[in-house]
Amino acid sequence: MFNGRPAPDVEPEARARRSRVLVGTEGERTVQRSGHTGDRAVRIVRPRLPGLRVTAPGYVTVEQQPEPTGALARGWRAVKRVLIGAPIRSAHETHERLSKVAGLAVFATDNVSSSAYATEEIMRVLVLAGVGALWLTMPLTMGIVGLLVVVVISYQQTIRAYPNGGGSYMVASDNLGTVPGLIAGAALLIDYVLTVAVSVSAGIAAVTSAFPALYPDRVLLCLLAIGLITLGNLRGIRETGKVFAGPLYVYVGSILGMVAYGVIRWATGTLPPYTPPAGAFEQVVEPLTLFLILRAFASGSVALTGVEAVSNGVPAFKPPEPRNARITLGWMAALFATIFLGMSFLSGQLHIVPDPREVETVVSQLARTLVGRSWYYYLVQFSTTLLLILAANTSFNGFPRLASIMAQDKFLPSQFTFRGERLAFTNGIILLAIIAGLLVWGFGGSVTGLIPLYTVGVFIAFTLSQAGMVRHWWRLRERGWRLSMAINAGGAVATAVVAVVVGVTKFALGAWVVLVLIPLLVMLLLGIRHHYHKTALQLALPDQHEPVPADLDAERLQHTILIPVADLNRAALRAIAYARSLTGQVEHGEDNGHARIVAVHITDNVEAGERLKERWDRANPGVDLVVLESPYRALVGPLLAYINAIERQQPEATSIITVLLPEAIPAHWWEHLLHTQTALRLKGALLFRPRTAVASVPYHLRE
Amino acid sequence: MFNGRPAPDVEPEARARRSRVLVGTEGERTVQRSGHTGDRAVRIVRPRLPGLRVTAPGYVTVEQQPEPTGALARGWRAVKRVLIGAPIRSAHETHERLSKVAGLAVFATDNVSSSAYATEEIMRVLVLAGVGALWLTMPLTMGIVGLLVVVVISYQQTIRAYPNGGGSYMVASDNLGTVPGLIAGAALLIDYVLTVAVSVSAGIAAVTSAFPALYPDRVLLCLLAIGLITLGNLRGIRETGKVFAGPLYVYVGSILGMVAYGVIRWATGTLPPYTPPAGAFEQVVEPLTLFLILRAFASGSVALTGVEAVSNGVPAFKPPEPRNARITLGWMAALFATIFLGMSFLSGQLHIVPDPREVETVVSQLARTLVGRSWYYYLVQFSTTLLLILAANTSFNGFPRLASIMAQDKFLPSQFTFRGERLAFTNGIILLAIIAGLLVWGFGGSVTGLIPLYTVGVFIAFTLSQAGMVRHWWRLRERGWRLSMAINAGGAVATAVVAVVVGVTKFALGAWVVLVLIPLLVMLLLGIRHHYHKTALQLALPDQHEPVPADLDAERLQHTILIPVADLNRAALRAIAYARSLTGQVEHGEDNGHARIVAVHITDNVEAGERLKERWDRANPGVDLVVLESPYRALVGPLLAYINAIERQQPEATSIITVLLPEAIPAHWWEHLLHTQTALRLKGALLFRPRTAVASVPYHLRE
């Protein structure tokens, strides 16, 4: 169709020879080939091809890849095998369905783990107005729990509407358009990075609370934790209930037990005395303004991060998926709210003051005061660390997946869609690890330093997602749409208000970074899609009714093959034999009508050039030699000048120049240092030249 | 001859078309072509080719190289033009002939400049046995001057025997054999590097003596000086008498004036009082043993460095060259000896003590004591710095030249023979600058720290050179050979003794590094030649009576062209049209008997592969498509497996596989980030694969 010519009838002998490559056969079976060239079957029997299996004519499956041969390559593969594991076939991917209990463990980790620092972050702001302002912790906690209830009910509507998973990027793109979708997407990407940084920092803070001697090394510990999570994800840890259930339920159990014990001690009036950590806040820094209270609220609203995880993961539940997801979401909110309220209440009753140097967390102070430095204290600290690190792990699932979805939509480089040997989105995982690592390092592993950047992106995504749901109900008007729309509208308003509160109160502290970054990211994402779009347009096939463009028409292309030779040696002869046989010009001066071959010797020494030309003409290797004198001793420049001159003589779009480099390849890689990297430099210089192809014809040295 | 076939008679029309490229013509002139294919002249008239000039049939001179087009390339060229200057033609190289006065300036700089630190280095060792041991400075100086006289007379014999320049490498290679030659060469290479490091450090020490505030930045100043010398040499500073004469004669004049003034003050008994620098040596560290005295002698023998420069440069003198060179060498020794003796004498009389912190040099103390901090003091310091930096510059002449000679002899990589745009040996200059810079940085710009490494290499080269001369006279037995041989034998013994003294007394202080490095370097040099030798053997043409080897015989080569395609797009069609027209297989299935073309689509998604194959077969782009299923999602591995399978089917040495990569080249370099670098990875994986060529067929995007 494309060429407009029918496929010709080839004589069977030539067909048979070609089909050995095209089709291949397996074992002693005879494979019949019936391609588009006709139905004349060819019968050939060939030995089994190791590692390959012919599944159908024209279809070959690679059963086994060749082993690497170099020492470096083998070493690298061995290291990879140990760290990452053996490759997994695409067909072996497993899809686990989660019960409500397992689902709660997988999707609630991110949210529930924020109870480890939410209370503390409220207190850190309030204490700026003096220890006396800390009584506001409890009312603010209750306000945030109220907000949580609104958002959770709102998200239950999303689950109903998007049983296949409704992330903010998708809901906003679907209902509000590309740019709101990209804003939500950009906010989420930032959010995932910050989740890793904050969770890991908080997890290591729990460690250094128990073992203050490790405090100076907290950044190193954070980076180690990120490295471990990265490796685990490159190995392809799935969202498996088994891994997650343990830490979550141990954390919930130990914390709830501690809270219950504290409440009993409070009810019986036997709360133990509290010793603040060294250097605790005493003096008043700021007056207790409404702004400060709102800032404390904004800090605490970090408690809502991770709420959207369940609605993203609806399809992972056992059927009926939406119902199970909704129930799980409710349970998650209930668990989180209980812990959060309990911790804030007990902190208030014990008059706990946050540690200004961030050595000991509030949870650690609480546990230490209630149960002393007993085994129970270490259980709490240990399970907190584990849960927080698993929370970071959920971002390692979310970020690469979102990046791959956005890359499929052409908003991110296609590298993000690639899945590595273990089916993990390698590039997304590594990028996330690098950015999160840099953040942790830049902020010295301080949770409080990272919090102002964190929440604003979360609430922007919430708002866009809920607003998208409002639009969704309005468009579809399914049964009960009015109530759902009202709930989502309430959620949208509530989260929008919080987004504004967070943006304003935390603006100077760091939220501005995110507010500047999101539009920049959106512009970048749009720019990337524009590039791919342009590329696709330029690469699209011409319309079948159009004439074939000259530059794609084999019949009209004219080749000039230039072979730069340093000497008359076997490498040069190999390249010449290559060019002559490829073009079918086996006799000297023979011509297939499409290609001419010239050898070029570039030299700054004309006498040496003359000697070479004499030897050349005497040896008659089959192509003519042009001696190109380079008065400035350069190599690339004169060749380019020569190519330009040739092109000026035949300026049609149909002329192609091929530079064929005879390359003597040493037997050992380090011997490359002893050879001028002429080939490399020529390839670099010619890469951006239109209508110029560069090939190396290797002549491999044996020793 | 090589193919054994006579060049065929081609029809004139085809010949004319080819000759447009092969020969080209200029202006309206008609160029007659009469190559080895016969004498049938072809007359063609073509417009002038810009930048090229056809000098004879088959000979083209590149008059002008194309301008770079990319913004980066243009910027880099502009920077290079400012720093280095415009390119110089090989033909424009000038060869200056030097008078005795100019020759003294050029070749004596290295040696005379060592008077700036030779006295000090003797004193630095003696003072370890207390200030009282410093009286030995003068006797040791006299001993070293005596050694200098022996060596100079010895070298005058070398000048007589080698009127074309007799460096130690050449004299030792010529007369003693390859390994002694390489030992001398390795010692000299090390010596050149150390000359740069020591001279620059001493030059900057003269600056920081005058301006102690600059002392903390001395390493930076050293590196700046090295950078400036490097740039100057990349610009191609010649050994011009004009540049060198000024500093040398100003230095000699000002120092001799100071010495004369000091001697007069001494004779009249009016020597001014001396104030030692802060923290001068007081306590005795070591006993005054013979070993320590020998070590002081070894330190002072640094005074002999640079003596061989004149004998290297004999051809640069005006005729009669050997006579002028011998006289110049004598003058050099006389000047140096006078300065050296005068300085040691006055230091002793003034009871000068070296500065333990190396802030103020002995020359500076001497000048300060004699003439105060007057203009004369600054003249001495300034001319010392300038002379020392010019001394470093002589190494920038010697090292790259020696490296290029050794590279011509195949002992060093051929890159060292390459002369850059300004006719300088670019690679040698840059390598020298890097190693010397690292040394200065490693030793913190301390002359005393570097001295133990310095002298041992010099005296090894001296010894081998003089021993070579003994052999030379013995072999040739020219007129007067007995006296010459005796002189050189004396020189050889004297320098060998000093080499042993230096090696032993300075062994633990750093000489061991050089004594270990020299054999390692010799082994490396031999290994490099072995590699080149092996390569040349393997690349040599087969004997003309032998049959043509199969892998070089165009008639017997069989090609398989694999075109990995990601999609059916213009880039793929371009590559297919390229392959089909190159091989002359314009009709589907046509065959030139030497090449088969297959398109390969590698995918982990069989359904997508099937859809592509359907579209492909419908569009019929002229070659068949094989869908290669990759169950592990890898790209390179399956292609390698497929190539291996093809090769297993046709295991002859005559089969060649060409991987033709359709590459869409973005219009802007940064857009490359948005494309998976598949082509690059495939090229890397296939580079070391025998009988496999890789080419990119670019499809350049316009926007």
Q: How far apart are alpha carbons A637 and A657 in whole angstroms?
A: 16
Mean per-residue pLDDT, B404-414:
91
| pLDDT tier at A280, thresholds 50, 70, 90 | low
pLDDT single digits (tens) B455-497: 888 899 999 999 999 999 999 888 888 999 999 999 999 999 9
pLDDT single digits (tens) A57-94: 888 888 877 777 777 778 888 888 888 778 888 777 76
Long-range Cβ pairs for the range B668-675 (8 Å, 24+): B669/A688, B669/B70, B669/B72, B671/A531, B673/A413, B674/A413, B674/A414, B674/A528, B674/A531, B674/A532, B675/A413, B675/A414
Q: Please tell me the predicted confidence (pLDDT) of residue B664.
A: 85
User: B552-700 adopts what CATH topology?
Assistant: Rossmann fold (3.40.50)
Tokens 């320590």 belong to residue: B292
Picking from B582, B606, B665 by the largest number of A CB atoms within 10 A of its own CB, the best residue to mutate is B582
Domain ranges of chain B: 12-62, 97-532, 552-700
CB A96 within 8 Å of CB A243: no
Q: Please tell me the predicted confidence (pLDDT) of residue B394.
A: 85
B491 closest CA partner among B140, B170, B155:
B155
| pLDDT tier at A585, thresholds 50, 70, 90 | confident
Mean pLDDT for all residues in chain A: 84
B178 closest CA partner among B189, B187, B188, B169:
B169
> Residue A43 pLDDT more than 50?
no
**Structure-token pair, residue A142:** 């209750």
Q: Please tell me the predicted confidence (pLDDT) of residue A266.
A: 92
Q: What angle do CA B471, B474, B477 make, to 5 degrees?
A: 140
Q: What angle do CA A651, A655, A658 make, to 5 degrees?
A: 125
Contact state of B583 with A584 under an 8 Å Cβ cutoff: yes
Mean per-residue pLDDT, B677-690:
77
CA distance B359 to chain A (A): 39
| pLDDT tier at A342, thresholds 50, 70, 90 | very high
Q: Please tell me the predicted confidence (pLDDT) of residue A76.
A: 84
Burial environment of residue B283 by CB neighbours within 10 A (0 to 12, 13 to 18, 19 or more):
exposed
Q: Please tell me the predicted confidence (pLDDT) of residue B5.
A: 40
CB B112 within 8 Å of CB B294: no
Q: Which of residues 431-470 of A touch B (CB under 8 A)?
A: none
Provide the β-strand partners of residue A59: A56, B627
B90: nearest CA partner in chain A? A631
Q: How far apart are alpha carbons B562 and B642 in whole angstroms?
A: 10
More confident residue, B437 or B167: B437
Contact state of A541 with B568 under an 8 Å Cβ cutoff: yes
pLDDT single digits (tens) B289-321: 999 999 999 999 999 988 888 888 888 888 888
Q: Which of B3, B595, B638 sits opposite A62 (nearest CB)?
A: B638
More confident residue, A683 or A273: A273
How many CB atoms lie under 10 A from the CB of residue A325?
A: 29
B135-161 b/e (C-beta count within 10 Å ≥ 16 → b): ebbbebbeebbebbebbbbbbbbbbbb
| pLDDT tier at B15, thresholds 50, 70, 90 | very low
Q: What angle do CA A301, A303, A308 make, to 5 degrees?
A: 105
> Residue B154 pLDDT more than 70?
yes
DSSP string, B242-308: HHHHHHHHHHHHHHHHHHHHHHHHHHTT-PPP--PPTT---S--S---HHHHHHHHHHHGGGGTTTT
Tokens 């010799």 belong to residue: B522
Q: How far apart are alpha carbons B168 and B148 in whole angstroms?
A: 17
Residue A309 has φ and ψ, to the nearest 5°, of -60, -40
Contact state of B687 with A698 under an 8 Å Cβ cutoff: yes
Q: How far apart are alpha carbons B322 and B100 in whole angstroms?
A: 11
Q: How far apart are alpha carbons A493 and A476 in whole angstroms?
A: 21
Q: Return the half-sphere exposure (C-beta side, CA atoms, 13 A cut-off) of residue B540.
A: 10
> Residue A439 pLDDT more than 50?
yes
CATH superfamily of A550-700: HUPs (3.40.50.620)
Chain centre to alpha carbon of residue A675: 39
Q: Helix A375-408 to helix A100-113 angle, to the nearest 10 degrees? A: 100
Cα(first)–Cα(last) distance of chain A, in Å?
50
CA distance A523 to chain B (A): 15
Contacts of A117 (CB under 8 A, 6+ apart): A198, A202, A205, A302, A361, A363, A447
CB A459 within 8 Å of CB A493: no
Q: How far apart are alpha carbons B340 and B77 in whole angstroms?
A: 47
Mean per-residue pLDDT, A95-118:
85
Q: Is A619 on the interface with B (CB under 8 A)?
A: yes
Q: Please tell me the predicted confidence (pLDDT) of residue B283.
A: 67
Q: Which CATH class is domain B97-532?
A: mainly alpha
> Residue A48 pLDDT more than 90?
no
Q: Which of residues 6-25 of A touch B (CB under 8 A)?
A: 7-8, 10, 14-15, 17-18, 20-22, 24
Instruction: Determine the length of chain B.
Output: 703
**Structure-token pair, residue B654:** 């005559």
Q: Please tell me the predicted confidence (pLDDT) of residue A644.
A: 85
B124 closest CA partner among B307, B409, B353:
B353
pLDDT single digits (tens) B658-670: 999 888 888 777 7
DSSP letter at B134? G
Q: How far apart are alpha carbons B205 and B376 in whole angstroms?
A: 18
Q: How far apart are alpha carbons A114 and A454 in whole angstroms?
A: 12
pLDDT single digits (tens) A546-562: 888 888 888 888 889 99
Mean per-residue pLDDT, B135-150:
94
Q: What angle do CA A24, A28, A32 make, to 5 degrees?
A: 50
> Residue A504 pLDDT more than 80?
yes
| pLDDT tier at B651, thresholds 50, 70, 90 | low
Helix, strand, coil content of chain A in percent (nearest 5): 65, 10, 30
Contact state of A554 with B581 under an 8 Å Cβ cutoff: yes
Cα(first)–Cα(last) distance of chain B, in Å?
51
Helix (H) or strand (E) holding A698: strand A692-700
**Structure-token pair, residue B646:** 């093809």
B417: nearest CA partner in chain A? A676
| pLDDT tier at A683, thresholds 50, 70, 90 | confident
pLDDT single digits (tens) B119-134: 999 999 998 888 888 9
Q: Is A540 on the interface with B (CB under 8 A)?
A: yes
Q: Is B670 on the interface with A (CB under 8 A)?
A: no
Tokens 């028409």 belong to residue: A553
CA distance A465 to chain B (A): 29
pLDDT single digits (tens) A593-607: 788 899 999 988 888
A34-67 b/e (C-beta count within 10 Å ≥ 16 → b): ebbbeeeebeeebeebebbbbeebbbbbbeebbe
Alpha helices in A131-217 (DSSP H): 137-161, 168-176, 178-210
More confident residue, B84 or A640: A640
Would you state the torsion angle of the CA atoms of residues B234, B236, B240, B243, taken in this order, to the nearest 10 degrees?
-50
CA distance A8 to chain B (A): 6
Q: How far apart are alpha carbons B426 and B419 in whole angstroms?
A: 6
B591: nearest CA partner in chain A? A14
Alpha helices in A211-361 (DSSP H): 218-235, 241-267, 290-300, 309-312, 321-350
Range of lowest pLDDT (A157-161, A195-199, A235-239, B149-153): A235-239
pLDDT single digits (tens) A452-478: 888 888 999 999 999 999 999 999 888
Q: What angle do CA A423, A424, A425 make, to 5 degrees?
A: 120
> Residue B200 pLDDT more than 80?
yes
Range of lowest pLDDT (A399-413, A463-477, A483-497, B87-101): B87-101
Q: Is A413 on the interface with B (CB under 8 A)?
A: yes
Q: Dihedral sign, CA of B298, B301, B306, B309?
A: negative
> Residue B9 pLDDT more than 60?
no
pLDDT single digits (tens) B37-62: 333 333 333 445 677 888 888 888 88
Q: Is the ipTM of this complex over 0.85?
A: no
Contact state of B581 with A574 under an 8 Å Cβ cutoff: no
Mean per-residue pLDDT, B384-394:
89
Q: Which of A7, A570, A695 sits opposite B693 (nearest CB)?
A: A695
Count of A-B CB contacts under 8 Å: 447
pLDDT > 90: percent of chain B: 40
CA distance A78 to chain B (A): 16
DSSP string, A582-629: HTT--STT---SSEEEEEEEEES-HHHHHHHHHHHHHH--SSEEEEEE
Contacts of B595 (CB under 8 A, 6+ apart): A581, A582, A584, B558, B559, B560, B561, B579, B583, B585
Q: Please tell me the predicted confidence (pLDDT) of residue A576.
A: 92
User: A98-532 adopts what CATH topology?
Assistant: Amino acid/polyamine transporter I (1.20.1740)
> Residue A317 pLDDT more than 80?
yes
Q: Please tell me the predicted confidence (pLDDT) of residue A388.
A: 92
| pLDDT tier at B578, thresholds 50, 70, 90 | very high
Q: Return the half-sphere exposure (C-beta side, CA atoms, 13 A cut-off) of residue B509.
A: 20
Q: How far apart are alpha carbons B630 and A418 in whole angstroms?
A: 13
Long-range Cβ pairs for the range B512-518 (8 Å, 24+): B513/B453, B514/B187, B514/B190, B514/B453, B514/B456, B514/B457, B515/B456, B517/B186, B517/B190, B518/B183, B518/B186, B518/B187, B518/B190, B518/B457, B518/B460
Q: Dihedral sign, CA of A645, A650, A651, A656?
A: negative
Mean per-residue pLDDT, A255-261:
93
Instruction: Determine the length of chain A.
Output: 703
Q: Please tell me the predicted confidence (pLDDT) of residue A687.
A: 72
| pLDDT tier at B589, thresholds 50, 70, 90 | low
Contact state of A696 with B698 under an 8 Å Cβ cutoff: no
CA distance B511 to chain A (A): 29
Q: Is A589 on the interface with B (CB under 8 A)?
A: yes
Mean per-residue pLDDT, B235-258:
80
> Residue A403 pLDDT more than 80?
yes
Cα–Cα distances in Å, from B597 out to A21, A192, B562, B564, B583? 10, 48, 6, 11, 9
pLDDT > 90: percent of chain A: 41
